[in-house]
A and B are shown apart, each in its own frame.
Chain A
């Protein structure tokens, strides 16, 4: 079960602004989902290895050689703001 006020803490970690209505709904949903997965938590699996990937065999690496990549102009073409070859972003505050 999700503890009280957890959504506000998670939203801060996830850099996500929520309005009050959204936060209430998400707190309820999170509680219901976590309650549902309790069954899985209860299984004794400590002696089972984890599977993080299901790729079949070790895949090859590309040759380590220089080749053309994305042009800066293309890479920045969708940015909200830029200054020459750089992304322009709002400033950071000391307490931010």
Chain B
């Protein structure tokens, strides 16, 4: 399937109609969805109607811009007014939200056509979609392997050509990791760059909505459409949104970069290390300056994350109790109704994290775990900011391995958590980061990660555009 940019150009030139684009997308879904299970809800009828409306606007000279008529998919933890939103959990059942997320609304206002709601790990807790209560998605490159997660359905939909782009969400790598596993581009913006209003909360000091696209230019377009302040989210930054497309067109050849050794150590597959070194050498040959940088506290990032994220999740998920939304279990009294509804409604990984979070926040343990993790976060962020005094961006692998097989990590939660070891630091520090496909290894996609200073998505995208070009050689 063509990129968003190309499809939009064809629509603008009158060489295609939105109805055709949506039809092609739905044909592709019909062809591959049974094997891949990218979606939890499909909206063929409303998508066709929206496409017709888009074509009518265009004929009347009233097109809403570049996104008008472009099919897309939303991760199913983004609220969509009147459209079932489950967060891949039984506890939300057939929840119909009364309003849409700001990011969804912004795309809707631009005429983008929502094709469906994409699968995820339950409440975005997982790295493979194996924790979806409705069954996993499968990797389009090799359906015997996971697509990554938690935004696995979004990555699959884009990689399999079912839509031009998708939105996902990140708490510890949930956009970049599936992007790397499926061979597409995934962006985690800086904390505060995109409003989270209408994103079902997991860990509020970490959560961000991100983009999944076919290339870096499309990432710039989608990010530009959803970023910016929002009166409905106090954490959404009031810093102006730059012209990301201009940054991509300028490229990153005048920039300097570092490859922190801590991201290439034990646990990172040799072929992934080799791909990062190959691309780093090619960037140097193209004139980018490389300097050594060190991020010594990276080794503790995963530990801090698995204290902070469950702590915040245990608090956020207390609202799911069978009273206001979702099914309520039969019970004699209120407490029993809470316990049963939650016990029956949540899956194993969500329960694991709620209990872990309850533990680290409980009396006597708060300082030892939660406060300690937040202090580590300060050191991690300071280290990143010091590195960005030396170089413009950091180049690392996105994941330690390529896509793993189903069941390989489900018996050992720590092994599953390791899949996010290289993406988590950017979430803890609030940095923007992007995964760009490198050269495949044994037929499986490899992701290259660029991290940039806070709120410098322009610089990140410029670097990623050059990286994309260099990596494809």
Are A59 and B334 in contact, CB atoms less than 8 angstroms apart?
Answer: no
A34 to B356, CA, bound (A): 9
B residues in contact with A89, CB < 8 Å: 323, 334, 337
A12 to B332, CA, bound (A): 17
Q: Which residue of B lies closest to A67 (CB)?
A: B231
A residues in contact with B372, CB < 8 Å: 40-41, 43, 45
A50 to chain B, nearest CB (A): 4
A76 to chain B, nearest CB (A): 8
Are B359 and A10 in contact, CB atoms less than 8 angstroms apart?
Answer: yes
A53 to B336, CA, bound (A): 35
Contact of B98 among A56, A70, A96 (CB under 8 A): A70
B66 at the A/B interface (Cβ < 8 Å)? no
Main secondary structure on chain A at its contact with chain B?
loop
Chain A contact-residue range equals 35 or more
Q: Which residue of B lies closest to A74 (CB)?
A: B98
Give 1 or 0 for each of B92-123: 1 = CB within 8 Å of chain A CB: 00011011000000000000000000000000
B residues in contact with A57, CB < 8 Å: 237-239
A13 to B191, CA, bound (A): 31
A59 to B300, CA, bound (A): 30
A11 to B343, CA, bound (A): 9
Give 1 or 0 for each of A44-86: 1 = CB within 8 Å of chain B CB: 0100111111111101111000000011001111111100000
Are B342 and A17 in contact, CB atoms less than 8 angstroms apart?
Answer: yes
A51 to B370, CA, bound (A): 11
A20 at the A/B interface (Cβ < 8 Å)? no
Q: Given A14-B358, A56-B192, A89-B323, is A50 in contact with B377 using a C-beta cutoff of 8 Å?
A: yes
Are B99 and A51 in contact, CB atoms less than 8 angstroms apart?
Answer: no
Known: A14-B318, A33-B414, A59-B234. 9 other contacts (CB 8 A): A13-B362, A32-B414, A41-B372, A56-B239, A78-B326, A79-B325, A80-B328, A93-B334, A96-B335
- B interface residue numbers (CB < 8 A to A): 95-96, 98-99, 190-192, 205, 229, 231, 234-239, 299-300, 303-304, 306-307, 314, 318, 321-328, 331-340, 342-344, 346, 348, 351-352, 354-356, 358-359, 362, 368-369, 371-379, 381, 413-414, 429-430, 454-455
Top 9 A-B residue pairs of the complex, sorted by shortest distance between their CB atoms: A54-B430, A17-B343, A74-B98, A50-B374, A80-B328, A40-B303, A45-B375, A78-B325, A96-B335
A-B contact pairs, 12 of them (CB 8 A): A10-B362, A14-B318, A30-B356, A39-B299, A40-B307, A45-B372, A53-B205, A54-B205, A56-B190, A56-B454, A79-B323, A79-B324
